[in-house]
Chain A
Amino acid sequence: MSHTAYSDGDVELDADFVVVGSGAGGSAAALTLARGGASVVLVEAGAWRDPDHYPVSVYGAMRDLMDDWGSTITRGRALWPVVQASAVGGTTVINSAISVTTPGDIFAQWRDDYGVGDAEFERNVLEHETRIESELSVNEVPPPSLGRSNELAILADERLGYGGHVMRRYAKDCEGTGQCLQGCKKGRKQSTNLAWIPEVMERGGHVVSCAPVKRVRFEGGRAVGVTGRFKHPSTRRRGGTFELRAKRGVVIAASATHSPALLQRSGVKLPALGKYFRAHPGTGVMGLYDEVVDMNIGATQGWASTKFRESPGLKLETLSIPPELVASRVGGGGKKLMARLAEYRHMAMWVHAVRAESTGTVSNGMFDKPVVKYTLDRADMERLRRGIHFVASMHFSAGAKRVVPFIHGFAYDIGPDELDTLLDAPLEPRSYVAILSHLFGGCAMGRDRSSGVCDATGKVFDCEGLYVADASVIPTNLGVNPQHTIMGLASHFAERWL
């Protein structure tokens, strides 16, 4: 087993495959390649932290686990944060480990609209997803770990018929510590740094961490490796250089923002590169209850509904956040802010995410930071507003006395009689504090080089030995949590590279 962390000296390594990025896609690809007998170097920009290294505070999580302190924001009508991790294990370390099988209509859409995949492709991806469920111990959040916020959502769902369910997650015996976003210190969440990457190493793989890749190297039109310089995880000081050479292929799995940016600065020129960026922009709605909810006790996310995924295009779920984050979300300042924060124990935060049809672009910016240009169109803003109404309805149904919709230019909170006023809330993106949590596209699969960056095996058009295996290949918005799809796709691709 071998691992190279930050180094002041220069590092050179050779392998059959170099995989850039160790999140859901990169680790799934690396594991499949390693199980197939290939030698693999897995390179990751962030540091490798085990559960006893995970931070406990949100400050620590932003510093140690988030990509550049979570400072990537969309440039468009509104400045919305793009949530991604930078750590061995990628975003699987900080997400809620939600597992949803790729909906069948998605494969049909890829086939019909984008010329990607066939029946065998669908069958193979789904077979991988089934295997992954078993390997990563996917199961429902156990009732004792739900916590009151999730229980209230289940109650509302029963009353309104929203067709929801207790979430199925990659977690073994979740204890409901409410710390998913800071990494599960109990080690229950099966993030890839715990579940898969050790096996890659046992099979002879090498992990290089604290190593942001600068560019892909080509020789005669073939990708032959990657280069970059180490970056210290604490001081951010630059260290030695690294050159990782690949005999058979270079796999890019650095995320829907970093993968297109890396290919662009490596000189890849394809018309679709950096285009068709999509996301699930979402926003929270807070219910204020007479009873004590203590949303930070219990599973961070435990209930979801995809009933409205196709129409109007929404996903509903619970999401508990700690006081640190509530403090910036709640409106006002001074005494008014403190009076609102005093209700923290009575708050339940539930969210909705829009299956948005708007598309954006990703490009390589200064200091290799991806630039995301993205604005929701009017139809998507109407969905966003509708979603707030859905979630507010749930809160009132569960017994909330007031609901806080977090809309600028609108009442801070509303009562049950004012619910429908939400349907007239502004459609201006700047009136909302939304977050982009699920990202797609930028290196989308397509029929040919004019419509996509890679084919249905993840191979980049016009570039021998260069592959993509992360959310950036997904050409459409899924409307469900994408980790399972990313892992299934990356595993399917990697089998074909062997």
Chain B
Amino acid sequence: MEKDPQVGQESRGVRWLVKRALLAFFPESDALPGIASMDVDGFVDRYRREASGLMWLGIVAGAVVFTVTPLFTVYRPVPSFWLSADTLDRHADRLAGHRLYLVRQLVFLLKMAGGLCWGQHATTRERLALEPYPADPPRWRTT
């Protein structure tokens, strides 16, 4: 997927925050590919462009919460992008099961968007013994 050339400086910052959060939730493992190998920038641009405003707002809010809450999950008074890899991993896991419902819901939206990107990728599907998806046809009846 191409990066959206119309994305401005502010949007690039938001995209970066969202991407950082998604990378933390879906790292590579022995069995499965991580989302980092899947053109997350392109996916986030597309999501911003195509998803309903509410869905986009939800994952941006989720990314912001993810960034500013390490103090409450791993007891580090720093934004999530300054955490070490192991601590970041612990932060992602603890936030997903946070006791505050609204936080869990925002993380759910974030994981859903990440899951859409990760789960539809050909490499993921191959590892799960599923046929790759062909491209979605952008068509409908016009007459």
Bound state CA distance, A57 and B136, in angstroms? 7
Q: Does A342 contact B (CB under 8 A)?
A: yes
Tell me whether A71 is interfacial, beta carbon within 8 Å. Answer: yes
Contact A53–B140 (Cβ < 8 Å): yes
Cross-chain contact of B114 among A68, A292, A327, A408 (Cβ < 8 A):
A327
Which of these, A64, A296, A341, contacts B130 with CB under 8 Å? A296
Instruction: Give the size range of B's interface with the partner.
Output: 35 or more
Assess the B143–A49 pair: CB atoms within 8 A.
no
Given known contacts A333-B93, A345-B129, A430-B101, A338 and B34 CB-to-CB distance under 8 angstroms:
yes
Is the pair B141, A57 in contact by a Cβ cutoff of 8 Å? no
Instruction: List residues 81-118 of chain B with CB under 8 A from any CB of chain A.
Output: 88-90, 92-93, 95-97, 101, 104-105, 107-108, 111-112, 114-118
Determine whether the beta carbon of A337 is less than 8 Å from that of B93.
Answer: yes
A333–B69 alpha-carbon span in the complex (Å): 15
User: Could you tell me the distance between the alpha carbons of A417 and B129 in the complex, rounded to whole angstroms?
Assistant: 32
Tell whether A332 pairs with B143 under 8 Å between CB atoms, given A69-B52, A327-B111, A408-B104.
Answer: no
- Which residues of the partner chain B approach A58 to less than 8 Å between Cβ atoms? 116, 119-120
Closest residue on chain A to residue B118 by CB atoms: A327
* A332 in contact with B96 (CB, 8 Å): yes
| CB atoms of B50 and A63 under 8 A apart | yes
Which A309-325 residues have a C-beta within 8 angstroms of B? Answer: 322-325
B140 touches A323 (CB 8 A): no
Question: Can you name the residue of chain B whose Cβ is closest to the Cβ of A327?
Answer: B115
Residues A335 and B89 in contact in the complex (CB < 8 Å), given A49-B140, A63-B50: yes
Does A240 interact with chain B (Cβ within 8 Å)? no
Expressed in whole angstroms, the Cα–Cα distance for A3 and B143 within the complex equals 6
- Residues of B with C-beta under 8 A to A334: 24-25, 27, 88-90, 92-93
B142 at the interface (CB under 8 A from A): yes
| Interface hits, A18-59 → B, CB 8 Å | 47-50, 52-59
Question: Which residue of chain B has its CB nearest to the CB of A54?
Answer: B137
B133 interfacial contact with A, CB 8 Å: yes
Report if A64-B136 is in contact (Cβ < 8 Å); known contacts: A50-B141, A333-B96, A408-B104: yes
CB distance from B131 to the nearest CB of A (A): 10
* Complex contact B128–A345 (CB within 8 A): yes
Chain A residues with a Cβ closer than 8 Å to the other chain, count: 55
With A58-B116, A328-B112 known as contacts, the answer to whether A338 contacts B137 (CB < 8 A) is no
CB distance from A133 to the nearest CB of B (A): 28
Cβ–Cβ contact A69 & B55, under 8 A: yes
Residues of B within 8 A of A463 (CB): none
B125 contacts A by Cβ under 8 Å: yes
Complexed CA–CA distance, A79 and B109 (Å):
12
How far apart sit A6 and B89, CA to CA, in the bound complex (Å)?
Answer: 47
A330-358 to B contact mask, C-beta < 8 Å, 1/0: 01111111110110110000000000000
Neighbouring A residues of B50 by C-beta, 8 Å = 63
**Distance between Cα atoms of A69 and B53 in the complex (Å):** 10
Question: B136, A337: Cβ atoms under 8 Å?
Answer: no
Whether, in the assembled complex, A5 has its beta carbon less than 8 Å from a beta carbon of chain B, the answer is yes
Are A325 and B120 also in contact (CB < 8 A) when A333-B25, A334-B90 are? Answer: no
Beyond the given A5-B141, A342-B31, could you list 9 further A-B residue pairs with CB under 8 A, ordered by the A residue number?
A3-B143, A59-B120, A59-B136, A71-B54, A71-B55, A333-B95, A334-B24, A334-B89, A335-B89
Those 10 A-B pairs whose CB atoms lie nearest each other, nearest first: A327-B115, A324-B119, A333-B92, A60-B136, A334-B89, A323-B119, A47-B140, A328-B112, A342-B31, A48-B141
Can you list 24 A-B pairs with a CB-CB distance of less than 8 A? A53-B140, A56-B135, A57-B120, A57-B136, A58-B116, A59-B116, A59-B120, A209-B141, A323-B119, A323-B128, A327-B112, A327-B118, A328-B111, A333-B24, A334-B88, A335-B27, A337-B25, A338-B26, A338-B27, A338-B34, A339-B29, A339-B31, A341-B32, A342-B31
Which A residues are closer than 8 A to B by beta carbons? 3, 5-6, 47-50, 52-60, 62-64, 68-69, 71, 78-79, 88, 209-210, 233-234, 292, 294, 296, 322-328, 331-339, 341-342, 344-345, 408, 430, 433
